[in-house]
Structure 1
């Protein structure tokens, strides 16, 4: 029984770590999408200002 409890505790710890890594990956993906959106915005602004000068 002690061995089983230890295994269950290890599995729980690994599961918790897995969930934390998944959350971090999701947060990085959201940041990546936000950065891509911001880049598009800035490129559009540059394009608009460049067209005004021509």
Structure 2
């Protein structure tokens, strides 16, 4: 859980800095893109769970 919290905090800081410096965001610009990344991760973990 500590890793998740630290990742969320560091991601928030990076996102803030990118917006402040007026740089393009280094992530999908829409919620659908972020959801797709989560889906890829979950699919990978499901495969590991069932076939490893």
* Superposed pair shares fold, TM > 0.5: no
Bigger radius of gyration among the two: 1
More helix by proportion, 1 or 2?
A: 1
Shorter-chain TM-score tier: 0.3 to 0.5
Q: Which TM-score applies when normalising by structure 1?
A: 0.40
TM-score normalised according to structure 2 size: 0.41
